[in-house]
Amino acid sequence: MRRTAVRLADGRELIYFDERDDAVREVPDRRDLPPPPPASQLRYDPLVDEWVAVAAHRQTRIFLPPTDQCPLCPSTPERSTEIPAYDYDVAVFENRFPSFSDRPGEPAGELTPLSPTRPGTGRCEVVCFTAEHDSSFARLAPPRVRTVLDALADRTTALSGLPGVEQVFCFENRGVEIGVTLHHPHGQIYAYPFVTPRTRAMLAAARRHAERTGGGNLYADVLAAERAAKDRVVAENEHWTAYVPAAARWPFEVHLAPHRPVPDIPALDDAERDAFGPLYLDLLRRFDRLFDKPMPYISAWHQAPVRTDRELGHLHLQLFSIRRAADKLKYLAGSESAMGVFINDIAPEQAADLLRQAA
């Protein structure tokens, strides 16, 4: 894989990850762009001990443009996009409308004595999986999935080294039902200036389990139990297992985990990276076959924090959809949105069986 870093017209970084070692990336960004926005503002919520990012500039981001105006397609001699090259394999660039940024923002302050503020330091990047606008991740070939995984490993390592970054989150949103604003196959990476609430809860549970068991790894023990029970296992190979969690929150939710406990994507070895693609592609295609239509989903990599409690983490991918039937969606209504208590309409064992049948 050949890695080439360039700068866009407004100074943002773009990195090409090419599958050919002789790829040349010399096409410049011909656009006249305004400077990137400053960092967002973080506001502390003392009632739940969480930070909320206020990024008002994101209101102006591009929303579902027609295909001939897609900013993630390759450039042409007649039109320049976010990707200056006329073709590419995988490309990663700084988001033009970031939730977090390493550019200066408002200094730290306070709204009230209980509500401090600070800059939303970090970084947000866009990951383009293919130059083909009408494709999808499920239609990629396994070698391209390996390229994407190597790119995510590269970016996780680089972003983990930025000052103030505490956690790196790689994910893909797919489908307008999820809230996607660009149809071109792409994912995103968020480098947070704090450990996220979900991860903090998982780490706290892992810490309690380690204390009770004399050092046991909670996720590894859960994975071993699911592999032994088999009821909710959807598919597996030598290095990975895909299973529906026993307490799945979403109608269709699958965890895809490496058998060897590792903290993050960069820690995966070559055999694990090669084995991931075929199993993940099979899983995505099962999702699409469930209702004979493209399944809206969120694909979320859970990685250990950059600096703290890395020994408690176990890398895994959480894939889930809000679609519960061919014509029905799962909405986060009163119980889920206000109280954080999920109520699942489909038994996890039933979901696992349906996904097995969709092979």
Question: DSSP secondary structure string, 38-104?
Answer: PPEEEEEETTTTEEEEE-GGGGGS--S--GGG-TTSBP-SS---SB-SSS-SEEEEE-SS-SSBSS-
Q: Give which of 124, 99, 87, 117 is closest to 12, Cα–Cα.
A: 124
- The active-site residue out of 57, 183, 184, 186 is 186
Pairwise CA distance, residues 320 & 306, whole Å: 25
Q: Residue 241 region, left (φ>0) first, then alpha (ψ -120 to 50), else beta?
A: beta
Which helix or strand (DSSP H or E) is residue 283 part of?
helix 270-290
**Counts of helices then strands in the chain (DSSP H, E):** 5, 17
At 120, list the tokens.
């939303």
Strands 50-54 and 115-120: unpaired
What is the biggest distance separating any 2 CA atoms in the chain, rounded to whole angstroms? 64
Pairwise CA distance, residues 206 & 315, whole Å: 13
Q: Give which of 111, 98, 62 is closest to 192, Cα–Cα.
A: 98
Q: How far is CA 103 from CA 4, 37, 158, 170, 333, in A?
A: 23, 8, 17, 21, 36
Within 10 A of 181 (CB to CB), how many other CB atoms are there?
A: 12
Look up 239 and say whether it is catalytic. no
Residue numbers annotated as active site: 186
